[in-house]
Amino acid sequence: MKRTVRREIIDEWLDEKYPNAMTKLSAASDVPASSIAKIRNGRVPKNADHRKKLAEALGVDEPTLFPVLEDREQAS
């Protein structure tokens, strides 16, 4: 099983908080903006605390933002 990122959740938040949205999200989540940029490109943080804090700042739970793909979904 592998996790993925639901980028649309992040992008919607960033659109709503424009301008300086990335800085605002970084401050709200205590996750560096450079890490958020990598997450938006599909990298799932290994740090569980970063996953949790980012999800909380976005107003969703961690499994919603970083869902686990079943083995059969990975092959698709």
Is 73's pLDDT higher than 70? no
Is the bond preceding residue 67 a cis peptide, omega within 30 degrees? no
Q: At what angle do helices 48-58 and 33-40 cross, to 10 degrees?
A: 80
Rounded CA separation 50/47 (Å): 5
Per-residue CA distances from 34 to 30, 44, 51 (Å): 12, 13, 14
CATH number of the domain that 44 lies in?
A: 1.10.260
- Kindly report, residue by residue over 13-46, the tens digit of the pLDDT: 999 999 999 999 999 999 999 999 999 999 999 9
Please tell me the predicted confidence (pLDDT) of residue 28. 96
Number of structural domains the chain divides into = 1
DSSP conformational letter for 3 = E
Which residues form the domain of 33? 2-75
Does residue 1 have a pLDDT over 80?
A: no
Residue 51 pLDDT > 90? yes
Q: Round the CA-based radius of gyration of the chain to a whole number and report it.
A: 12
